[in-house]
Amino acid sequence: MQFTFAHYQESADFLRTKLGDFQPKVAMVLGSGLGYLGDVVENPIVVPYGEIPHFKASTAPGHKGQLVFGTLAGKPVAVMQGRMHHYEGYSYEEVSYAVRVLRLLGCDTLFVTNAAGGVNWKFKAGDLMLITDQIKIFMESPLRGENLPEFGVRFPDSSYLYTPALQDLARQQARKLDMDLKEGVYMYFPGPQYETPAEVRMARLLGADAVGMSTVPEVITAAHCGMEVLGFTLVSNLAAGVLPQPLSEEEVLEAAAAAREKFSKLLLSCLEAL
């Protein structure tokens, strides 16, 4: 189905009834096993996705499926604890639906996080990567269908999807925290099966540093509606074929749990420095 502007407005109006005069500025999408930051939001207003008109459930492991509004590092935030993925059966429009709703609520910045497989030979499991750009070749766009001009133009520029000034801010904060922050290009694969070793070799040849099953649709949608974007990948494992061993979901969640402290430090310090 194609959503109209009225659908997005209906979702935003419903959320406004929960928020009173609270006005979020930074939307945060927390990926696999990274949702804990939503638990430390101050003065939280929690709204399960199931209560929000037109929202879909988040069924992936490690994804709670709720919005948490409140204050984090002194900033008014809207935290998505869990996201929707295409592999759950949702269209790309549905996957990125919430981004537009949060835009209508006043968010002008999006922080996205994910867990992904490391493709770059220099990466190791547990590394954090600043996303500098993305590659999408195996999916239709979340913007497919009639354009909604209330959000943006028909043919949006994609030269700076990840806001250069926010990338600089992240580099500065990593330096301040004496933290090793890798950088690279995130390439989207729809999943849910992990990539084959041949696909990973292809991704590397095409310029990817990490491969994953999320983020790309939300970032296209966010940039279309004029949001600034900062993205981080937790390299939860080396991608298929890099090491002579199979990948597992447990490995991904364990790596996310292990990186939790350093990841949250970096995110909070970026938020604070905004």
Which of 37, 72, 213, 266 touches ligand HPA (CB under 6 A)?
213
Q: How far is the CB of 115 from ligand HPA (least distance, A)?
A: 4
In this structure, what DSSP letter does residue 143 have?
A: T
* Piece of 103-111, 207-215, 223-231, 257-265 that binds ligand HPA (CB under 6 A): 207-215
Stretch that binds ligand HPA, among 2-10, 172-180, 205-213, 262-270 (CB under 6 A): 205-213
> Is 116 near ligand HPA (CB under 6 A)?
yes
CA distance 114 to 32: 6
Position with the least CB separation from ligand HPA: 117
3-state secondary structure 31-95: CCCCHHHHHHCEEEEEEEHHHCCCCCCCCCCCCCCEEEEEEECCEEEEEEECCCCHHHCCCHHHH
Q: Give the x/- contact pattern for ligand HPA in 157-186, rule: CB under 6 A.
A: ------------------------------
| 194 touches ligand HPA (CB under 6 A) | yes
With binding defined as CB under 6 A, does residue 134 bind ligand HPA?
no
Residue 247 engages ligand HPA in binding (rule: CB under 6 A): yes
Residues 25, 8 contacting (CB under 8 angstroms): no
Token code pair at residue 53: 């008109």
Can residue 263 be called a binding residue for ligand HPA (CB under 6 A)? no
Q: Which of 205, 216, 211, 207 is nearest to 252 (CA)?
A: 211
Q: Strands, E, within 140-258: which ranges?
A: 181-188, 210-212, 228-238
Residue 133, strand partner residues = 185
- Closest distance to ligand HPA from the beta carbon of 36 (Å): 17
| Residue 117 binds to ligand HPA (criterion: CB under 6 A) | yes
Structure-token match 């709703």, residue found: 101
CA distances from 124 to 113, 153, 210 (A): 18, 39, 11
Question: Does 236 contact ligand HPA by CB under 6 A?
Answer: yes
237 binds ligand HPA (CB under 6 A): yes
Interacting residues with ligand HPA (CB under 6 A): 115-117, 189, 194-195, 211-213, 236-237, 239, 247, 252
